[in-house]
Chains A and B, each alone.
Chain A
């Protein structure tokens, strides 16, 4: 029971991050009817941007010292008489990194937003109204362009980046069994859930959210109602890329930074299809379910098998429910 709860919580935490990545794919699909196969590589760019602004730039000559490590007098004082490995020490370690974490996140958000605008303008806009096949294949081409560009700019070596939140270990008892977690993972989960809920609320209640839904319903009707469809397209891409930047930063702190981050996008794509492409709720449930199933597989069969869980799950779901768990079936005319 104790092991089960531990792995279930681990699974929910990675499920929340899957949901955060999936929100980017769903948003772009809702607005533009394009499924972005390259979303994993957009996330990889977010991670590399975070790495650039949080590690490379603060480490350069000429960067102010407080950016690399913020250490005011009162903090040094507090640190002086702390025992080793105390939770307070972890918080203070984190506090020293706060400037570069914020700088890294801001840089990643801005750069990824620009990346999204560039992709939308140069690749997606010219194909508006063309076949869906061509648009999907463009994103497949984008995979190679993005991964090639990333290894041109950044060396392909794996590296580590500062955690977004204090990484203090958290221990507590659940049903009489001890649970062991890391503080950073909990905060990551909270961030992912907050952003997910925020986007769902935005799509439901704000003006631009309604515009996205109207465009999803019928592009030409939305156009004739005075909604600028191209603007909706670029907004959706920017939304996807900025959430991707945060997801990338979180993934980078969890798994370290490496070109293989891009492959993450394919398992999330499987999750999105499993939940139903146009349903935020379905995707959320699917993400959580896959997260937990992965953790259980890891527990029972070992870490190797966890990596194919999303793919097996999507195949099973597609055979039973072709449009995913909560997706709308398309009505086709002959």
Chain B
């Protein structure tokens, strides 16, 4: 039992994993991931890759919505920008930059472009907030996707028909299988999670939280709303840009329609289901948001015995399940799964004494 938060050094106070349960959980998870990479079959690797890419993006949305309190319904567009910039960079600089170090330059470029466009999209956030901002970001994402589809940009983006994506090559290590990609995605996801966790412990992160709690009060305390709201947009767009770059590397072909409203809503839904403004929230949320439709597909296939005429009902069922999941969590558990795990952890901490 942990019966106090007794720290004798600053170093101990500053640790991310400040109790043995957290340590056991995180190290156990790393071990499990390693074993998973070595033993899981291709299908599970595919699902896990999807989760990893989505996770990085949801961590980005968490910085904006969870910590800074700015609602965005258009972050799918930043994933699109990341994916298309990566692809266009590979195609444009093929032969000029050696393949072995191409991803090392393409990914930062994608992140930087996303962050820059994030700042532009974030400009309305200085004047409007809440619902108005949600619609402003939604509008911006529609415009971005529309521009990607235009014939004028088709040489770079492939237009409506989509474009084939490159295979990443890290110092001669060609990541041409899903399993190899998973190693890259998982390690980047872990790093982004750690960075987000540390971000909120800094001056910038505390400013974000102050803006979330009451933006005018924060301004009176000397926090520049202009600077920090745009920083928040830039950081979250950068995370989504990274997710987009991995998206381009992971799939063989990208289409504009993959980044439409559904993706943006999926990001927000994962955040709400997992728990906003918490480090582990995106992790739980992404697992649920990816697993539930997948389980429905599998169980539906098993129940109907693979009858083709019934297969068309599977996609609407997944859609309804997604909506119900969002509604259920908003009605019954607004703080998300993270709140449930909090309760369980607290009960474990206090065992054998009173729970709650």
Contacts and interface: CB of A to CB of B under 8 A. Distances in A.
Interface of A: 35, 123, 126-127, 130, 132-134, 136-138, 140-149, 151-152, 263, 266, 269-270, 273, 304, 307-308, 310-312, 314-315, 318-319, 322-323, 332, 334
Main DSSP-derived SS at the B contact region: helix
Given A270-B135, A319-B123, A334-B217, A141 B327 contact: yes
Contacts of B123: 319
Interface string B104-120: 00000000000000000
B21 interface: no
A123 B326 CA distance: 11
B220 interface: yes
Interface of B: 71, 73, 123-124, 127-128, 130-132, 134-136, 138-140, 142-143, 146, 150, 214, 216-217, 220, 261, 265, 268-269, 272, 313, 315-327, 330-331, 334
Contacts of A142: 323, 327
28 contacts: A35-B131, A126-B331, A133-B130, A137-B272, A137-B330, A138-B326, A141-B322, A142-B327, A144-B323, A145-B320, A145-B323, A148-B318, A148-B320, A149-B320, A151-B316, A270-B135, A273-B135, A307-B146, A311-B138, A311-B142, A312-B139, A312-B143, A318-B127, A319-B124, A319-B127, A322-B132, A332-B216, A334-B217
Contacts of A323: 128, 132
Contacts of B128: 318, 322-323
Main DSSP-derived SS at the A contact region: helix
B138 A266 contact: yes
B130 A132 contact: yes
Contacts of A310: 139
Contact of B327 (A130, A145, A312): A145
A136 B137 CA distance: 15
Give the one of A147, A148, A319 with max B CB within 10 A. A148
A308 B316 contact: no
Nearest to B271: A137
Contact of B265 (A134, A138, A143, A263): A143
Contacts of B124: 315, 318-319
A141 B135 contact: no
- In the A-B complex, the 4 residue pairs with the smallest Cβ-Cβ separation, listed nearest first, are A144-B323, A148-B319, A141-B326, A145-B323
A178 B146 CA distance: 34
Contacts of B71: 133, 136
Nearest to A308: B146
A320 to B, nearest CB: 9
Contacts, number: 122
Contacts of A315: 124, 136, 139-140, 143
A147 B262 CA distance: 12
A310 B123 CA distance: 18
A308 to B, nearest CB: 5
Given A148-B317, A149-B316, A315-B139, A322 B334 contact: no
A296 B286 CA distance: 43
Nearest to A314: B139
Nearest to B260: A263
B317 A152 contact: yes
Contacts of A145: 319-320, 323-324, 327
A318 B121 CA distance: 12
Contacts of B134: 136
B139 A270 contact: yes
Contacts of A134: 330, 334
Give the one of A123, A140, A269 with max B CB within 10 A. A140
Nearest to B149: A304
A269 to B, nearest CB: 6
A140 B73 contact: yes
Contacts of A140: 73, 265, 268-269, 326
A311 B134 CA distance: 12
Contacts of A141: 269, 322-327, 330
A141 to B, nearest CB: 3
Contacts of A334: 214, 216-217, 220
B281 to A, nearest CB: 15
Nearest to B214: A334
A132 B330 CA distance: 12
Given A314-B136, A315-B139, A334-B214, A151 B315 contact: yes
A270 B127 CA distance: 16
A136 B136 contact: no
Contacts of A318: 124, 127-128, 132, 136
Given A123-B331, A149-B320, A311-B140, 5 more contacts: A138-B327, A140-B269, A141-B324, A145-B319, A148-B317
Contacts of B315: 151
A125 to B, nearest CB: 11
